[in-house]
């Protein structure tokens, strides 16, 4: 009887943060995108973003994989 050799799962190294900077999308007019797009899902997502838009001075970001700190969008 032929046997199939046993293979163990490959254990990957844990992920590490990339040194690559994230793209900057601050020039995108989301309100115009919501009005002009023909794709229904994109239109709804863009409209939701516009409805929930927070002024830059009040914006914060929370990183789940970080040390639990709130980071303000305003560096001053």
pLDDT at 67 exceeding the cut of 70: no
- The pLDDT, as a whole number, for residue 41 is 92
Listed by start position, the domains of the chain span 30-72
- The pLDDT, as a whole number, for residue 1 is 59
Q: How confident is the model at residue 72 (pLDDT cuts 50, 70, 90)?
A: low
Count CB neighbours of 46 within 10 A: 21
How much of the chain exceeds pLDDT 70, in percent? Answer: 74
pLDDT tens, residue by residue, 6-37: 777 777 787 787 888 878 877 888 888 888 88
């Amino acid at each position: 009887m032929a046997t199939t050799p046993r293979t163990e799962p490959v254990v990957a190294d844990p992920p590490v943060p990339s040194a690559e900077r994230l793209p900057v999308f601050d020039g995108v007019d989301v309100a115009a995108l919501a009005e002009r797009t023909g794709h229904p899902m994109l239109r709804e997502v863009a409209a939701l973003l516009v409805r929930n838009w927070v002024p830059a001075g009040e914006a914060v970001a929370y990183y789940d994989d970080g040390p639990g700190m709130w980071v303000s969008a305003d560096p001053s």
